[in-house]
Every structure is written in structure tokens, then in C-alpha cells.
């Protein structure tokens, strides 16, 4: 090593050490102790003041979300460290894009001097070693890619042999203490798995099973395994119908090893994508079954029999904008009968809907129309200064005058008559669908009234065209009607609402909180 530091008193040094499982295969020279000894010796020889030593043991060089590396960056941001030393460039990272980012951009911008001992890299001086740094980074990246392929091939081979390669065994099983890559029944929670299958066999739905387990405060699989829950929310630590459904259809419980349900995007990313069942790796008879095959097949049949595709979805202008104020989750919409027996849409808290007996949140039930009317009224109010009726009236009067002067009304009349005839035919078809049983009474009534109202409006327009009233008073009334119609339709437009409204929150006391996207509207609201 020929690196020199001429002004050691100017630096506070961070010694960075990284070791991954793949690096361990390269021999003891890569060990944490060896790296620490090498870096400490260099710092001592050059009279450098070491602020701290940062060690990431067992972390891949393609992952820059390492705990101590992030701690090092935090100390750089706090101006506690202005020199970073590693054994070689691969210790900093094996992703050439991010390694280059820190080498060429981040460290220089933060006035941090970087030294790689074995590579002879020193950003504090001009040298040919620095010039070939990008090529070294690319070679390190290629090495990581090659290692990733080999590891992936080995793992896939183990999967095909029925060997378990996961980190945690599925709920009801645990790692075999005597044999590697094998799972055995976990006697502590196995009775709970059998109970869940038994409840399903009795015809109890997944939703009710989850509610019962939550009421009894039974720890979830993730809680029992001590897994990191990630983002904490109202669902954290609770059983769900989706979890129960997945368990009841998992062939692992009948002795088959099921793996490969998801795969990492690539060696640089920690994100995984779900695989279709055709790409799963299933090997039969690899371990002791927890559930007998007959019970499993009966339960699967029961679960599948409850699955259905929703025959309708509910569209409303505020879709995707409604949230519960208390738990922060999106509101669900349901269809209920009102006192008159008419279909009405209601908003309810999705958290309450899924975990009713757990008392996580409250219902928040409120009519969709009530919320929509309140949002429309408030939106019109705050937009009043920006959209004046008087400013729109001249344009409407001009449009009416141009319409009056138009002489070629025959084409419009013909088109209206054609539309009216089409709607009449549509009504006849809807009625025939009702008679044949294709439409139930509610759907027939809804479609029939909508088409009938549309036809009535067209007939009224046709009547006005065939017997026009061109008096000045009538033109002004018509212009005013056009303006009001425009304003009403604008504020019920989903496109406009999404552009103006960021979110609408419903409180437990049924207060409606509207949050606008623009600062001017927020101040007006």
C-alpha cells in the first residue's frame, strides 16, 4: 500500500467493514476481524483519528439498505465523518450503479475522502487507480450477478428435491433440529391448525373463523414466529379471512412441500413477485402430514364453493377518495335497502367490516348520497370565487343565439327521433330479459327507470325543436338553465373531483372532512 495522508489531523475516519455469506467462501482473509485489523493498522500508521467502526456482517454488497452503512451515512450527514476507508471497493458495494453514485457523486458533494486500501483508490489525490474505478465496480457487479445465478440454481435444485429452503416453516411446523432442510410438526400450534380445519369442515366461513380466533386472542402465525410486522396498522397482529383461506388450501399440511410461490425480481432487488400456480414447485410426501388428505380435499371444496365473482361493482364519483378518519384506511361501500325498500349505497369502515368483534374501529355508516351532496356543496362554495355565473352567462346567451339562427334543424330532429326509437327498442329488450329470468326485479326496475327517463328527456327536447320559442325572455331563461346545468354537471364530474379533492375523511361522529389539493382551495375551505 502506497497511499499517503499528508494532513491526518483534518479527518475523522469511518472504518467500514462488510462480509456476506458468499464472501466467506473466499477464505478467512475476508473475515470481519481480518478487515478490522487491516483498516485499524492503516489508521494507526497514518495517525488518523477513527470516529467509529461500522460493520455489516452477513449483508450482500448489492443491498445498500445495510444497517451500519446507513448509520455511516447518517454520521456523514451530521458532519461527524469526512473520510471512509474500506479494505477494497467490493466492501463498499457490488452494484456498480450505486457504488459509482457514492464514489463519483455523494462522497465528493459531502467533502468526504474515500480510500480503498487494496485497490489503491484514494479520491483525495489524482491517480490512475481512481480512473479505472468504474471498471472495478462493473467487475464486482458481474461477480455478484454470477454468484446470484449459482445460488439461485442451487436453491431451485433443492426445491425440486423437496428440501425446505425457507427461513421460517409454515404455521404448524418447525425446522427439524436434527436434519437440515427438513420440517417437522410443531406440537405447540399443530392443534390450532387442526381446529381451524375442523371449524371449516363444520361449514364455518373463513371470516367467522378469523373473528373467533381474534376474539380468543390467539397469536397469528407472524406473531408466533416472531416476524417483523412491518407497517403497524389496525390489522397488525390479527387473523384475517385471507390468512385462513390460504392455510386451508396449502398442500404443505398434507405432507407436500410447496415452494416457489414468489421469486425475487433480480439479484439487485429485494422485492418479489408472485408466481402462478403452474410455476410453483410442489413435491409430494416430503414430511409428516398434519391433516389427512380426505379432510383437506373436503375443506378445499367447501372454500372454493364460497368463492364467487361479484355480479356488480358500485361506481360513484368519490370512489378511491373516501377514508376513515380514525384508522386511516379506505372506506368500503355496500348496498342496503332503506325504509322504503329502495337500494341505497352506504359507506362503512373497512377495518370494522373485517374485524367487527375485535373492536378495532367503528362502523361509520353513512349514505353515499349524503357524503356526495356535502362534498358538492363545499366544492361549489370554495370554488365560487373562481367560477362566476355572471361570467358564464354571456357565453351561454351566445350559444342560444347561434342555435336560434341555425336553419338546419332537420338533421338534429332526425337524430333525436332515431335515439328515441333506439331507447324504446332497448326497453322492449329489457322487458323480455325480465320475462326470461335473465334480469331480477331490482335490476329491471333500475334499468327500466333510467332508460325511460332518458327517453322522456329526449322527447321533451324534440318537442322544443319542433315548436321552438325564440322570444327574448325564453332565450334568457334558456341561457340561465344552460349555466346552471353546466355548474351542476361539473361538480358531479369524477374528473373534476379527483383534480380538486385529495381525500375525504369520515369521522366516527359522521363529520365529513374534505382535504383539497390546492393551497388556495384549502384556505377557502
pLDDT in tens, the chain (525 residues): 456 777 888 899 999 999 886 665 555 556 888 899 999 999 998 899 999 999 999 888 888 889 999 999 999 999 999 999 999 888 888 777 788 888 888 998 999 999 988 878 888 776 655 555 555 555 555 655 556 666 667 777 777 877 887 778 889 998 888 888 888 999 998 999 999 998 888 878 888 888 888 888 888 888 887 766 555 555 567 888 888 888 888 888 988 888 877 766 554 555 667 777 787 888 888 889 998 988 888 888 777 765 544 445 566 777 778 888 888 778 887 877 777 777 788 888 877 777 766 667 877 788 888 888 888 777 777 666 555 555 555 555 555 555 555 544 556 677 777 788 887 887 777 777 777 777 777 777 878 788 888 888 888 877 766 655 545 555 555 545 544 555 555 555 565 666 677 788 888 888 888 887 765 444 444
**Is pTM, for the whole model, over 0.85?**
no
360 contacts 439 by C-beta, under 8 angstroms: no
501 contacts 514 by C-beta, under 8 angstroms: yes
- The whole-angstrom separation of Cα 87 and Cα 18 is 9
A 10 A CB-CB count for 499 gives 10
Using alpha carbons, list the distances in angstroms from residue 404 to 305, 308, 408, 473, 475.
63, 55, 10, 13, 9
Element (H, E) at 334: strand 331-337
Beta bridge partners of 184: 174
Locate 489 and state its grid cell.
354537471
Amino acid at each position: 500500500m502506497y497511499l499517503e495522508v499528508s494532513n491526518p489531523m483534518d479527518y475523522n475516519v469511518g472504518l467500514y467493514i462488510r462480509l456476506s455469506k458468499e464472501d466467506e467462501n473466499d477464505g478467512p482473509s475476508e473475515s470481519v476481524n481480518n478487515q478490522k485489523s487491516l483498516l485499524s493498522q492503516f489508521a494507526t500508521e497514518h495517525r488518523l483519528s477513527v470516529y467509529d467502526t461500522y460493520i455489516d456482517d452477513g449483508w450482500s454488497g448489492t443491498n445498500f439498505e445495510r444497517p451500519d452503512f446507513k448509520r455511516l451515512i447518517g454520521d456523514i450527514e451530521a458532519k461527524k465523518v469526512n473520510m471512509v476507508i474500506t479494505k477494497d471497493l467490493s466492501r463498499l458495494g457490488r452494484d456498480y450503479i450505486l457504488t459509482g453514485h457514492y464514489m463519483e457523486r455523494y462522497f465528493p458533494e459531502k467533502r468526504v475522502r474515500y480510500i480503498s486500501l487494496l485497490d489503491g483508490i484514494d479520491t483525495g489525490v489524482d491517480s490512475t487507480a481512481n480512473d479505472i474505478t468504474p471498471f472495478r465496480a462493473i467487475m464486482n457487479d458481474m461477480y455478484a450477478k454470477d454468484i446470484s445465478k449459482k445460488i439461485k440454481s442451487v436453491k431451485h435444485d433443492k426445491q425440486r428435491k423437496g428440501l425446505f429452503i425457507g427461513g421460517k416453516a409454515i404455521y404448524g411446523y418447525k425446522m427439524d433440529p436434527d436434519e437440515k432442510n427438513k420440517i417437522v410438526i410443531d406440537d405447540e400450534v399443530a392443534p390450532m391448525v387442526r381446529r381451524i380445519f375442523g371449524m371449516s369442515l363444520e361449514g364455518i366461513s373463513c371470516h367467522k373463523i378469523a373473528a373467533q380466533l381474534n376474539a380468543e386472542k390467539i397469536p397469528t402465525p407472524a406473531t408466533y414466529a416472531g416476524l417483523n410486522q412491518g407497517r403497524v396498522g389496525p390489522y397488525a397482529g390479527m387473523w384475517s379471512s385471507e390468512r385462513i383461506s390460504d392455510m386451508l388450501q396449502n398442500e404443505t399440511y398434507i405432507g407436500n412441500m410447496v415452494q416457489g410461490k414468489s421469486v425475487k425480481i433480480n439479484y439487485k432487488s429485494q422485492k418479489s413477485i408472485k408466481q402462478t400456480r403452474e410455476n410453483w414447485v410442489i413435491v409430494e410426501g416430503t414430511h409428516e402430514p398434519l391433516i389427512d388428505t380426505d379432510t383437506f380435499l373436503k375443506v378445499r371444496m367447501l372454500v372454493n364453493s364460497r368463492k364467487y365473482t361479484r355480479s356488480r361493482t358500485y361506481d360513484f364519483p368519490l370512489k378511491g377518495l373516501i377514508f376513515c378518519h380514525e384508522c386511516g384506511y379506505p372506506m368500503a361501500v355496500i348496498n342496503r335497502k332503506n325504509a322504503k325498500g329502495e337500494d341505497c349505497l352506504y359507506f362503512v369502515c373497512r377495518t370494522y367490516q373485517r374485524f367487527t368483534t375485535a373492536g378495532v374501529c367503528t362502523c361509520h355508516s353513512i349514505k353515499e348520497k349524503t357524503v356526495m351532496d356535502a362534498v358538492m356543496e363545499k366544492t361549489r362554495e370554495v370554488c365560487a370565487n373562481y367560477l362566476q355565473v355572471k361570467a358564464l352567462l354571456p357565453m351561454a346567451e351566445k350559444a342560444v343565439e347561434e342555435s336560434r339562427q341555425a336553419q338546419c334543424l332537420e338533421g338534429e330532429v332526425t337524430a333525436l327521433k332515431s335515439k328515441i326509437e333506439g331507447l324504446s327498442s332497448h326497453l322492449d329488450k329489457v322487458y323480455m330479459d325480465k320475462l326470461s329470468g335473465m334480469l331480477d326485479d331490482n335490476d329491471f326496475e333500475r334499468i327500466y327507470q333510467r332508460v325511460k327517463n332518458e327517453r322522456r328527456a329526449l322527447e321533451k327536447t324534440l318537442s322544443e325543436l319542433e315548436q321552438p320559442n325564440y322570444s327574448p325572455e325564453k332565450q334568457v331563461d334558456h341561457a340561465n338553465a344552460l349555466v346552471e346545468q353546466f355548474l351542476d354537471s361539473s361538480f358531479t364530474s369524477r374528473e373534476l373531483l379527483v383534480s380538486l379533492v385529495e381525500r375525504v375523511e369520515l369521522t366516527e361522529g359522521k363529520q365529513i372532512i374534505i382535504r383539497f389539493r390546492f393551497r388556495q382551495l384549502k384556505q377557502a375551505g
